[in-house]
């Protein structure tokens, strides 16, 4: 985390330490479902910093400010998931929390995943097009949303015998509801990309203005 500004560094490191403690507690109580989720969260928080520090190509192409933003988004999302897993997902008074996260988190994530579509265009076509970026990113929205639901079900099947989804068709309602909120968040992210995020990402990449279209 040596590249992060002081405030960001503090926030990200606090979340990492909380997740490590949560992992140890879940391991002690043999709660491997939550443990796996927290471990995945830790992996994704440290991945951008590790990737940036180890890859000369990434350093030459991506500005550290963008890496900082990605880490903050991931840490914020993981904190939301941590709070949900410990209480809000199972509390009858906060059943709205899961739907809220499935809407708000994709807005943040899918505003940043445009980076991959832009990088793809830069590598293969040597030109960046905003419309292509938005449509390509929404394809990622669909693929990643379905992949996440498959991951959730697989983890739950392994550790809890599908108890997360219940019986009598509850799995279909839960999955459909999550996908609707995920895709809704993706639509909002697409709007943000068009008006704000596209220019922010371009500004923090090592590409030339004449490649933009």
Same domain, 102 and 169: yes
Express each pLDDT in 144-182 by its tens digit.
Answer: 888 877 777 776 666 555 444 444 445 567 778 888 999
Which pLDDT score, from 0 to 100, does residue 3 have?
A: 46
Task: Enter the pTM of the model.
Answer: 0.79
Which pLDDT score, from 0 to 100, does residue 87 have?
A: 85
- As a dihedral over the C-alpha atoms of residue 201, residue 203, residue 206, residue 209, rounded to 10 degrees, the angle is 110
Same domain, 68 and 103: no
Rounded Cα gap, residues 43 and 38, in angstroms:
9
Same domain, 213 and 143: yes
Which pLDDT score, from 0 to 100, does residue 8 have?
A: 61
Whether residue 83 contacts residue 105, with contact meaning beta carbons closer than 8 Å, is answered with no
Which pLDDT score, from 0 to 100, does residue 151 have?
A: 75
CA 145 vs CA 92, 125, 179, 185: distances in Å: 25, 27, 6, 10
Vertex 67, ends 186 and 190: CA angle to 5°? Answer: 15
Which pLDDT score, from 0 to 100, does residue 31 have?
A: 85
**Tokens for 57?**
């190509």
Same domain, 141 and 78: no
Extract long-range pairs of 19-23: CB within 8 Å, 24+ residues apart: 19/45, 19/78, 19/82, 22/82, 22/86
Same domain, 106 and 5: no
* Domain final position from 70, 93, 116: 93
Same domain, 47 and 133: no
Same domain, 131 and 69: no
Same domain, 34 and 89: yes
Whether residue 33 contacts residue 160, with contact meaning beta carbons closer than 8 Å, is answered with yes
In the chain, which stretches have pLDDT less than 70? 1-8, 155-172, 208-213
Whether residue 190 contacts residue 137, with contact meaning beta carbons closer than 8 Å, is answered with yes
Same domain, 58 and 156: no
Same domain, 69 and 122: no
Same domain, 39 and 111: no
> Which of 86, 90, 112, 74 shows the shortest CA–CA distance to 196?
112
* Domain final position from 72, 93, 114: 93
Tell me the sheet residues that pair with 212. Answer: 128
Which pLDDT score, from 0 to 100, does residue 160 have?
A: 56
Domain with 186 in it: 95-213
Q: How many domains does the chain have?
A: 2
Which pLDDT score, from 0 to 100, does residue 68 have?
A: 87
* Domain final position from 58, 93, 128: 93
HSE-up (13 A, CA, CB side) for residue 106: 29
Same domain, 28 and 75: yes
Whether residue 13 contacts residue 135, with contact meaning beta carbons closer than 8 Å, is answered with no
């Amino acid at each position: 985390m040596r590249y992060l500004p002081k405030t960001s560094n503090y926030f990200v490191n606090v979340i990492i330490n909380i997740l490590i403690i949560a992992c140890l507690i879940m391991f002690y109580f043999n709660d491997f479902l939550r443990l796996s989720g927290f471990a995945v969260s830790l992996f994704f928080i440290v991945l951008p910093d590790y990737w940036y520090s180890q890859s000369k190509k990434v350093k030459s192409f991506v500005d550290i400010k963008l890496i900082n933003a990605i880490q903050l988004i991931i840490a914020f999302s993981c904190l939301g998931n941590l709070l949900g897993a410990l209480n809000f997902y199972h509390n009858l008074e906060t059943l709205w929390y899961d739907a809220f996260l499935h809407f708000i988190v994709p807005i943040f994530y899918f505003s940043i995943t445009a980076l991959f579509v832009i990088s793809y265009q830069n590598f293969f076509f040597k030109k960046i097009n905003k419309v292509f970026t938005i449509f390509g990113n929404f394809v990622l929205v669909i693929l990643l949303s379905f992949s996440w639901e498959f991951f959730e079900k697989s983890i739950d099947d392994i550790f809890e015998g599908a108890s997360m989804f219940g019986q009598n068709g509850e799995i279909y309602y839960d999955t459909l509801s999550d996908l609707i909120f995920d895709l809704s968040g993706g639509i909002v992210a697409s709007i943000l990309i068009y008006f704000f995020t596209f220019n922010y990402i371009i500004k923090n990449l090592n590409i030339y203005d004449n490649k933009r279209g």
